Amino acid sequence: MKKFCFIVAFLNSSIFFSQQKWSLEKCISYGLENNLDLKELLIDEKIQSKEIKYKKNERLPIVKSEINNGLTSGFQR
């Protein structure tokens, strides 16, 4: 009876804690999706491309224009 209880307990625990089998492709895709180094490199690449755009825009001339249409009446001193 003890053996029977042990076997039932073992089978129940193995059913609840069984691991999922993954294929090589699934392992590789999971690794690429959750790779922190790769994510950091992609973020660094985005930052560098934004910095390049900013540096290119710094070289452009600044154009300012102002129009003043004032009308005065009366005595001026």
pLDDT, one tens digit per residue, over 47-65 is: 999 999 998 888 878 788 8
pLDDT at 50: 94
Tell me, what's the pLDDT at 22? 86
- Give per-residue pLDDT as tens, 10-41: 666 555 555 788 899 999 999 988 999 989 99
Between these two residues, 34 and 2, which has the higher pLDDT value? 34
pLDDT at 62: 79
- For tokens 């900013």, what's the residue? 54
Q: Are 54 and 62 in contact (CB under 8 A)?
A: no
Domain regions of the chain by residue span: 35-59
